[in-house]
Structure 1
Amino acid sequence: MAETPAIPATPAEPAAPATPATPARLILRRWRRRVVQLLAGLYLVASLVCASLVVNAAVSDLGIARDRGSAIAEVVSTGGNTVVRYTDEQGRVQTPQRGLKYPTGLQAGQRVRVEYQRSEPDNVKVAGRGWTLALLPALSSWLVVTAVAAVPAGVLWWRWRR
């Protein structure tokens, strides 16, 4: 059996010297890291706000479900908050300052069945509507936040990789 000729060993090529870490490079690295941390922090806060929309609606609905009262309410106004006026089970007229939850499609002067929390009459919603109606606004807000956050993140990534 014939031996294969040995391949002559070549001396190892010297490694390219690492770029020295000058103070300017260290400052640039620190600045980049802080910018990324700032963007990530803002994105996290905005995402938590979107999630809190759904959680707040669910907790509010849970409070109503545990201590439910119902009434017929008159829609007073449909501006920023949809304001209603109703008479609770004790005969007191209630006009919640925070407005009505889930008011889609209501108009001033309309009468609508509402459910409210007896221990907190300001917590009132349209009967038959629930927290799942908060999913679409929360999800669409999160998608907008993600798109807005992706633009500076993409620009920075592209610039720093050049």
Structure 2
Amino acid sequence: MSTVTGVNSSATGRLLDELAGLLLPVVMPLVRRLPAMILVLAGLITLMGVLVLVGAHRDDAEIRAHSAVATAEVLPGSDFSRTLIAFTTAGGETVSPEKGVFYPRGLQPGQIVRVEYDSTHPDRVRVLGRDASVGSWPIGLVVAITWAIALPVGFTLRGRQLRRLESDRLAASIAAAAAAATPGSDDASTDGAAPDGSDPDDSGPDGSDPDGTDPLGTGAGDTSPAKSASTDAA
């Protein structure tokens, strides 16, 4: 039973290693860019909020330029994204804007409400007495919360990355200095030389010098003519 468990654990470990090897090349670049991605996301949210406000002010301007007032009924089927209404224009046309009414906060199905619309485009309609200022503070609040979170998180992550890079750079510098302080091959090349600078291989096979002198004074290597004559006389 223990053998089977060990085999399963080994297979699981290999599978995790392979999965990590596949994911790390994809995940690590994203992790390194995470601070920038957070700030970019916050910028996009801000841009969307600004565009919404610009569009709302433009619609308000069009309604004010061709203003008409009617009584509308809030229809069932409304949701978070839109509040459906139906009203009759001054020309007798019944209109139910597909995008709903602007600034519908607090409206309930079946409720009767006064609306102001663009007489040239009746689908452009808002609750009477409301304008883009109603939506300004929620959008501004969302943008403020977004940056209140994005800035500390982004700069904190970036600071950690910079400290890690500095630590790696310092470790590389220490390693390079240690490698430079290690004795090189130049020191090893002088190990075979004698202390007095002579070559130890210059001596003959019996320990004598090549010029016939005996460095030990034993006379074994002396081959001079005087030495040979004294030997013959003896």
TM-score range, shorter chain: 0.7 to 0.9
Identity of aligned residues (%): 31
TM-score normalized with structure 1 length: 0.72
Counterparts of 2:118 and 2:70, CA distance in 1: 11
Partner of 2:62: 63
Whether the 8 Å contact between 1:53 and 1:134 is mirrored in structure 2 is no
Shift of 1:39: 3.8
Q: What amino acid is aligned across from residue 60 of structure 1 in structure 2? A: D
Q: Which moved more, 1:144-153 or 1:87-96?
A: 144-153
Contact 2:35 2:155 (C-alpha < 8 Å) held by counterparts: no
Q: Would the aligned equivalents of 1:82 and 1:103 in 2 still touch at CA under 8 Å?
A: yes
Specify the code of the residue in structure 1 equivalent to 2:142.
Answer: S
Partner of 1:41: helix, strand, or coil? helix
Question: Relative contact order, CA 8 A, sep 6+: which one is greater?
Answer: 1
Q: Whole-Å Cα distance in 1 between the matches of residues 158 and 146 of structure 2?
A: 18
CA contact (8 A) 1:57 1:131 kept: yes
Report matched runs for 1:63-142 at 5 Å: 63-77=62-76, 78-80=78-80, 81-142=82-143
Q: Deviations over 1:57-115 (max 9, x none)?
A: 11111110011111000111342311100001110100001011111121111111100
Q: Secondary structure at the match of 1:70?
A: strand
Contact persistence 2:39–2:154 (CA under 8 A): no
Based on CA coordinates, which of the two structures has the bigger radius of gyration? Answer: 2
Count matched residues: 133
Secondary structure of 2:85's aligned partner: strand
Q: Which has the higher helix share?
A: 2
Aligned to 1:7: none
CA distance in structure 2 between the partners assigned to 1:128 and 1:75 by the alignment: 17
Distance 1:141 1:51 in 2: 11
State the one-letter code of the partner of 1:79: D
Distance 2:145 2:139 in 1: 10
| CA-based RMSD | 2.3
- CA offset at residue 33 of structure 1? 8.7
Contact 2:36 2:154 in 1 (8 A): no
Instruction: Report the 3-state secondary structure (helix = DSSP H, G, I; strand = E; otherwise coil) of the residue aligned with 2:84.
Output: strand
Runs of 5+ unmatched residues, structure 1 = 1-29
Q: Measure the CA separation in 2 of the matches of 1:86 and 1:39.
A: 45
Higher strand share: 1
Structure 2 alignment gaps of length 5 or more: 1-28, 164-234
Taking structure 2 as the reference length, the TM-score comes to 0.51
2-structure distance, mates of 1:67, 1:160: 57
